[in-house]
Chains A and B, each alone.
Chain A
Amino acid sequence: MPFKIIASQCTSCSACEPECPNVAIREKGGTFVIDPKKCTECLGHFDEPQCVAVCPVDNTCVIDTSLPRYQAPA
């Protein structure tokens, strides 16, 4: 269940980027984005998702429920 960054809320402060144990976060077009293929929710690394814990804006790094696997089958 990968995380995503809500671009409209991201302040581009870059705090999350170096914290990600999987190097899943990078800058793209002025804000930061998470590569869903790399994000492991920090499982096995840390108790809490690092991007969530360090982000200054609440509810900006969130579980990406728009991915196909979360959608009800057609």
Chain B
Amino acid sequence: MDVSAQHDASSNGGNVGEIMQAIAEHKGCGTTGGSGKASCGSQAGQGDLPTEIWEKVKNHPCYSEEAHHHYARMHVAVAPACNIQCNYCNRKYDCANESRPGVVSEKLTPEQAAKKVLAVASTIPQMTVLGIAGPGDPLANPEKTFKTFELIYNTAPDIKLCLSTNGLMLPDHVDTIAKYNVDHVTITINMVDPEIGAKIYPWIFYKHKRYTGYEAAKILTDRQLQGLEMLTERGILCKVNSVMIPGINDQHLVEVNKAVKSRGAFLHNIMPLISAPEHGTVFGLNGQRGPSAQELKALQDSCEGEMNMMRHCRQCRADAVGLLGEDRSAEFTTEKIMAMEVKYDADTRKAYQEKVEEERIAKVAAKQEELAELAGKSSDIKVLAAVATKGSGLINEHFGHAKEFQVYELSTAGAKFVGHRRVDLYCQGGYGEEDSLETIIRAINDCHAVFVAKIGGCPKGDLVKAGIEPVDQYAHEFIEKSAIAWFKAYLDKVNSGEVEHVERGDAAIRQGALISAA
């Protein structure tokens, strides 16, 4: 549980206006089929995606890298039971790896959950996606999960439904999933080799029996892959999540990537293991480490030739509400919702979402202009840049207020979104604290520059000392356009000998779920 993020929920609380501005472009992540792929980070529109898939992903914050700046999702915690045990999960507490709140969190009945969804959708018009991800496994609680879907499907059919599962019971429920028009399913697949699986899963509960070791992992992987095949056969979009566990499945995830791609998975999201002793998980207690930022990126890169990689996953919690990376769940506690009069207004929502479409066109155009100029350059230099943003695709966050940085890879091919780094709040109440600044520098240590809307003199000096250039001249401008412009200037400086290009070191991945403990 992440106490440092507590601040977020309350400071964002009630400030709907600010979030309402969060409208602009988005772009899709799509495979072109076969082994060619369209990168999540460089495609500015439908591109070569089939219209059918584009329609499904364009407003989905988890599937479309750009949509995630502008559209919101929410999760409801209606499914407490689980049927397997993972070594990175302690069921008592919030599980950072599986986007799962701990059992101490508020549990909802399907009726309460449906009301909460309608309340949120009416307050936050860009809320387009409802997910059920836990606290346990949604398909270990099929009645509660599908009752919730049924209620939403009947009252608010424009809301996309999605589901995250460990896959054990997936083959049994594929028809029901199709029936409620659930078009996005996420399966957590950490291995396709039971030998490796046995190191991740101590046991599963299947057909009235507890299985352990190799046998357990074998059943699990067979069921996961079968479920994946059945879903893709029916045209239901599937994302695969994998937790990267160094020394256990890190090399193996390339195999996993191939196995899921050949079965039609649309997106593969490799997430770093989050493990700290205080989480009380098996991995946390036995000192299993998570990967560094460089290790994670290297693995994502080696899989990317094969299919789309999702790099913007925040491992957000299963009862989160809001844009990825923020949590407004404190505004929507059961008590508050049950007291609310909820009127579902589909027209307002539609009008709002149309505005988003317009703005995104403007942003793409701005980027194209800069790109055209870059086209004349050729260089092998690739650098990373961190960006402080509140959304809308703009550099619009103060360095000291950023709770995460988005990371773009800049090269003569353009600006490509490659991930995000969460940081502890550096500035609380207006003054900076030295050690949090160090935390930030560690988190973005692999970047050459950090783009901010504003930054104080002190942190500026320290960043420069650490070799990271603070850039505030593009405040409130579009991220990609600005990053490309900066990169052009950087190349010019390197070419003229004014600066020497040096590689940067590795960065740390912050442990703990992005949540408010509210």
Interface residues of chain A, those whose CB is within 8 Å of chain B, are: 11-15, 17-19, 46-48, 50, 53-54, 56-57
Contacts and interface: CB of A to CB of B under 8 A. Distances in A.
Contacts of B92: 11, 57
A13 B107 CA distance: 10
Interface residues of B, number: 17
B465 interface: no
A47 B210 CA distance: 10
Interface stretch (B79-87, B346-354, B408-416, B441-449): B79-87
B208 A53 contact: yes
A47 B82 contact: no
21 contacts: A11-B91, A12-B80, A12-B103, A13-B91, A13-B103, A13-B135, A14-B81, A14-B141, A17-B81, A46-B208, A46-B209, A47-B208, A53-B205, A53-B208, A53-B210, A54-B81, A54-B210, A56-B82, A56-B85, A57-B91, A57-B92
A19 B80 contact: no
A63 B129 CA distance: 45
B236 interface: no
A56 B100 CA distance: 15
B81 A13 contact: yes
B209 A53 contact: yes
A19 B208 contact: yes
A46 B208 CA distance: 7
Q: Which 3 A-B pairs give the minimum distances between C-beta atoms? A: A15-B81, A53-B210, A11-B103
A74 B208 CA distance: 40
Contacts of A19: 208
Given A56-B85, A56-B91, A15 B136 contact: yes
Interface string B95-108: 00000000100010
Which of A13, A46, A53, A57 has its CB near the most chain B CB atoms (within 10 A)?
A13
B103 A54 contact: no
Contacts of A50: 208
A15 B82 contact: yes
B219 to A, nearest CB: 14
B208 A13 contact: no
A57 B82 CA distance: 12
A15 B209 contact: no
Nearest to A11: B103
Interface in B122-180: 135-136, 140-141
A18 to B, nearest CB: 8
Nearest to B91: A56
B205 A13 contact: no
Which of A50, A56, A57 has its CB near the most chain B CB atoms (within 10 A)?
A56
Contacts of B209: 46-48, 53
A47 B140 CA distance: 21
Given A53-B205, A57-B91, A14 B80 contact: yes
Nearest to B203: A53
Contacts of B140: 15
B83 A15 contact: yes
A74 to B, nearest CB: 39
Contact of A48 (B85, B135, B210): B210
A50 B81 CA distance: 14
Given A13-B135, A18-B81, A53-B208, 6 more contacts: A13-B91, A15-B81, A15-B82, A53-B205, A54-B81, A56-B85
Nearest to B89: A56
Nearest to B142: A18
Contacts of B205: 15, 53-54
A50 B210 CA distance: 9
Which of B107, B208, B209 has its CB near the most chain A CB atoms (within 10 A)?
B208
A9 to B, nearest CB: 9
A53 B207 CA distance: 11
A13 B80 contact: yes
Contacts of A17: 81
Interface in B339-373: none
A14 B80 CA distance: 6
A43 B55 CA distance: 53
A11 B208 CA distance: 21
A50 B205 CA distance: 9
A18 B136 CA distance: 14
A13 B82 contact: yes
Contacts of B91: 11, 13, 56-57
Interface in B238-286: none
A54 B169 CA distance: 14
A12 B85 CA distance: 16
Given A19-B208, A54-B205, A13 B136 contact: yes
B407 to A, nearest CB: 36
Contacts of B136: 13, 15
A18 B141 CA distance: 9
Contacts of A54: 81, 83, 205, 210
A10 to B, nearest CB: 9
Interface in B194-234: 205, 208-210
B113 to A, nearest CB: 15
B289 to A, nearest CB: 24
A50 to B, nearest CB: 6
A11 B100 CA distance: 14
B207 to A, nearest CB: 10
B132 to A, nearest CB: 15
Nearest to B135: A13
Contacts of A47: 208-209
Contacts of B81: 13-15, 17-18, 54
